[in-house]
A and B are shown apart, each in its own frame.
Chain A
Amino acid sequence: MKHLKFLFFLVFSALIISSCNNKKETQKKDVISFDSEKDLVHEKTVKKVFFNLPSPIEITQTILATKSTYNPELLNPVSNLSNYSSSSDLALNFGVYGADLCYCRVYDQLQSAIAYLAVIRKLTTQLQIPEDAGAETINRIEENIGNRDSIFQIISETYAEADGYLKENDRELTAALILIGGWVEGMHFAVNLQSNQNNQALINSIAEQKYSLDNLISLIEEYQDNAAIAEIYPFFEKLVLVYSNVTITRDKSVIVTDQDTKITSIDSETNIQITKEQLIEIKNLIGEIRTKIVS
């Protein structure tokens, strides 16, 4: 009986600790405000399912707006792979090389894409992501390398499989590092392409990364104990400071359905204010963060 009580105590304690953790997570992630009536329900039950950041595929989509020429100097050379040994460096650069692969895809640089693919395959092995969660889809990329339409699809599946595997196996830090690396590389493309041309769409894209940065900094704060993150964290803090003065205002959203195309649009006027100085500061900070990651 005494043992049974002890067992109940242990299980009960575990449940209490677990529910406290869940509560903390729910409160921390409770990010939107509704009207007062719904707020009551919201506070009681809402859960934020997952943390979400754009994959490199989405970030490199913004490059399409630039119509610039392919610049291989923007990529992290595949030869740098041998410089990375810690799991944090490998994960960060998995993200970097993933974005590089997408960049190659955007410009139809198939030979380069194959080289970056080989790097990602090695990193998948080094990060101990099993075959069925990564390499199998990588084989499919090699088979479909000439088919540009299917490559994005396969890259996205590779990311989803690796992301899912890492989250399932309590390796969220690795998943987070991959996302951080991918975001930094995507920004590196954007700020460098922008400095060579005055493309308003690209400037807007850089300014709008303010949203992703908000999500990213929450993620980075969670893992400040990690040495690799601790190294780049001060630069992210400065980046947040610069972005805090970038203003994005929006009118009320309107849903419009085109009667001919039947396409529904979320329409709202956006006013973005970002100065040349802010763009330069963002470029410099991204450069410093990227150097820390790739060198």
Chain B
Amino acid sequence: MKTANTFILLLGFLIGINSIATAQCKTFTKNDCKPRLDPYIYNGQLNSAVLNEGDIAELMLTFYSNQDYRIVVCAAPELGKIVFRLVDEKGQELFTSKDHDFTEIWDFRTKSTQQLVVEVSVPESNSGELIKSGCVSILVGFLDKQ
């Protein structure tokens, strides 16, 4: 019985930690990332996750023709310089933040509708300390046509 109680407590603790991390990630996205979309209109899709060093995450997005977009990829500072790339359906790299001083923002216009993959890479650290983890958010905004 005692074991079962300990297990439930342990499980509750783990779930609790996960919930706190997710809630903190949402707050980080709202306070630190979303303002960077301005003056673009947020598309309303909340894409944030807690990633570990060395992780690569991706998100497939549809960008419509003749629209002006802003992509913001922002990460908790403890993750270091993250890299984000935009890759088209054919696997062709269209943009990498590595070539733009690790910028977190890219503004662009799409001439035709495109399915693009946003790929985010969290660098590995060689410090040998505990594995670092933190929130990473991918936000998309567009300009109102009217």
- Residue from B55, B90, B108 in contact with A252 in the complex, judged by beta carbons closer than 8 Å: B90
A197 at the interface (CB under 8 A from B): no
B131 at the interface (CB under 8 A from A): no
Interface bin, chain A = 35 or more
- B44 surroundings in chain A (CB, below 8 A): 55, 57, 155-160, 163
Kindly state the separation between the CA atoms of A55 and B111 in the bound complex, as whole angstroms: 20
- B64 surroundings in chain A (CB, below 8 A): 54, 58, 61-62, 205, 208
Kindly state the separation between the CA atoms of A132 and B5 in the bound complex, as whole angstroms: 34
Known: A152-B144, A208-B113, A269-B112. A264 touches B60 (CB 8 A): no
A35 at the interface (CB under 8 A from B): yes
CB atoms of B43 and A57 under 8 A apart: yes
Interface size on B, residues (CB 8 A): 62
B residues bordering A, Cβ < 8 Å?
2-3, 6-7, 10-11, 19, 22-23, 26, 41-49, 51, 54-65, 67-68, 87-92, 94-95, 106-117, 119-120, 136, 138, 142, 144-146
Kindly state the separation between the CA atoms of A156 and B89 in the bound complex, as whole angstroms: 27
- Residue from B48, B60, B87, B108 in contact with A215 in the complex, judged by beta carbons closer than 8 Å: B60
- Residue from A3, A10, A46, A49 in contact with B47 in the complex, judged by beta carbons closer than 8 Å: A49
CB atoms of A32 and B56 under 8 A apart: no
User: Which residues of A223-273 have CB atoms within 8 Å of chain B's CB atoms?
Assistant: 250, 252-253, 255, 263-270
- Residue from A46, A211, A270 in contact with B62 in the complex, judged by beta carbons closer than 8 Å: A211
Kindly state the separation between the CA atoms of A31 and B44 in the bound complex, as whole angstroms: 23
CB atoms of B109 and A49 under 8 A apart: no
A residues bordering B, Cβ < 8 Å?
3-4, 6-7, 10-11, 14, 31-35, 41-42, 45-50, 52-55, 57-58, 61-62, 64, 106, 148-149, 152-153, 155-160, 163-164, 167-168, 201, 204-205, 208, 211-212, 215, 250, 252-253, 255, 263-270
- A33 surroundings in chain B (CB, below 8 A): 91
